[in-house]
Amino acid sequence: MTPKEALEFAQKNGAKMVDLKFCDFLGIWQHFSVPIRCLEESSFEEGFGFDGSSIRGWQAINASDMLIIPDPNTAFMDPFCEEPTISFICDVVDPITKEPYTRDPRYVAKKAEAYLKSTGIADTAYFGPEAEFFIFDDIRFDQNEHCGYYFIDSIEGRWNSGREENPNLGYKPRYKEGYFPVPPTDFFQDLRTQMVLQLEKLGVQIECQHHEVATAGQAEIDMRFAPLLQMGDNLMKYKYVIKNVAIENGFTVTFMPKPVFNDNGTGMHTHQSLWKDGQPLFAGDRYGGLSEIALYYIGGILKHAPALCAFTNPTTNSYKRLVPGFEAPVNLAYSSRNRSAAVRIPMYSPSPKAKRIEVRFPDPSCNGYLAFAAMLMAGLDGIENKIDPGEPLDKDIYSLSPEELAGVPSTPGSLEEALKALEADHDFLLKGNVFTEDVIEKWIEWKMEKEVNAVNLRPHPWEFALYFDV
């Protein structure tokens, strides 16, 4: 869509306002709105000013002025605004030099796609994330100098099987048994369908929706694969739509990896494949029907996985899910069909076009632009350096003996470990100036100061159960 076509689209739909959305450093959409009269063809070059010092991890206050440039190709009518509003996803630039801003996650994704083409290996990287989430009725949390708590509630929560609901009708999924009985046990079938239909209206193609394993409204809606940048945009729309449809129906959604103790956490298994000139590059006659290129790509993912986790699993809560011996694939191995491996080769279809790999350790707390770009760069490093992924591991990893497990590396045990891995291993991300030292340094600094240290400083409720009587 050209700027002129975007203006015609706005006029056709009776837009009265323009909503300008952009992704902050950590992966949250920010926005501001202007009257439709302020949108002109020149706006797509001149942009709109905002205060970059008020955005987490961005500008210092003495260099706060920034511009956002709406991308006309991303135009959509926002379904959650009372007045007709056209929305654009925007890029961030320096107001003086008009250069793209290095800490704009969308710019990182664009550079990753450009680097892929420059290698000559492929021209398109497809990503298909399976972002899971929880639908809750109520959430309350606080922490201060004298108390700290959270309270979660869900009409589906197994813990409510004995609650007086006048009447309590039962049908609450058992812990770890939410995958996937029909209604009435699956209370949220219709709500998920509303989410799917709204996403489809906005051009985000959906392949399926279903309840997930945990009790308390754990859900999954799968998007059809798309090129890296487009999927980064789609993931932002996905979170926006799902949260707002939930709110409209009196529920709330979280993409936290582990909000419920003692039940399955929330992952974002991410399918990936490379194509060139319209042909798939991951199909071949090697293990699992893969090509040599695909195996090298896996080698790069497994080698750099500890550093990747700083972007694919970027919260302290992520490592409540990535725990050895539980459901998450913490062991860095690959396998055909085996869902306990960090990298799986799906075997649903014999078609070469369906051949892909599935990286299973990421979670949806990530910034999709950065996570997808980082995984692509790791895979390309594997191809460029012919990194052997080793032998596949087709056994049930969780049943291996300690001796057998000793030779299988694992993901980091904490966000701090992942950040240290990124600090030690990020040269592969700097190729093509895709990630910059500035981005890596600021990411590590922010995460350590604002998240790792902030959590470490606060007493945990369970510590009182363990230690109050010492």
Is 404 a catalytic site residue? no
Cβ 19 vs Cβ 43: under 8 Å: no
Intra-chain end-to-end CA distance of the chain, in Å: 67
Is 248 a catalytic site residue? no
Catalytic residue among 31, 153, 339, 417: 339
Catalytic residue among 19, 113, 156, 212: 212
Is 441 a catalytic site residue? no
Residues in Cβ contact with 49 at an 8 Å cutoff, skipping those fewer than 6 apart: 65, 66, 67, 95
Catalytic residue among 78, 113, 130, 451: 130
Q: How far apart are CA 171 and CA 156, in angstroms?
A: 8
Catalytic residue among 263, 358, 363, 416: 358
Instruction: Retrieve residue 219's tokens.
Output: 């859900």
Is 339 a catalytic site residue? yes
Catalytic residue among 103, 106, 211, 269: 269
Q: How far apart are CA 427 and CA 418, in angstroms?
A: 15
Catalytic residue among 5, 51, 65, 388: 51
Which phi and psi angles does 9 have, rounded to 5°?
-60, -45
Catalytic residue among 360, 363, 416, 426: 360
Is 358 a catalytic site residue? yes
Instruction: Retrieve residue 97's tokens.
Output: 């030099």
Is 5 a catalytic site residue? no
Is 423 a catalytic site residue? no
Is 165 a catalytic site residue? no
Is 384 a catalytic site residue? no
Q: How far apart are CA 225 and CA 356, in angstroms?
A: 11
Catalytic residue among 19, 104, 113, 132: 132
Catalytic residue among 71, 91, 220, 363: 220
Tokens 């869900």 -> residue = 154
Residues in Cβ contact with 187 at an 8 Å cutoff, skipping those fewer than 6 apart: 155, 156, 171, 217
Long-range contacts of 393-402 (CB under 8 A, 24+ apart): 393/331, 393/333, 393/334, 393/335, 393/338, 393/341, 394/335, 394/336, 394/338, 395/338, 396/338, 396/340, 397/329, 397/331, 397/333, 397/338, 397/340, 397/341, 398/325, 398/340
Residues acting as catalytic residues: 51, 130, 132, 212, 220, 269, 339, 358, 360
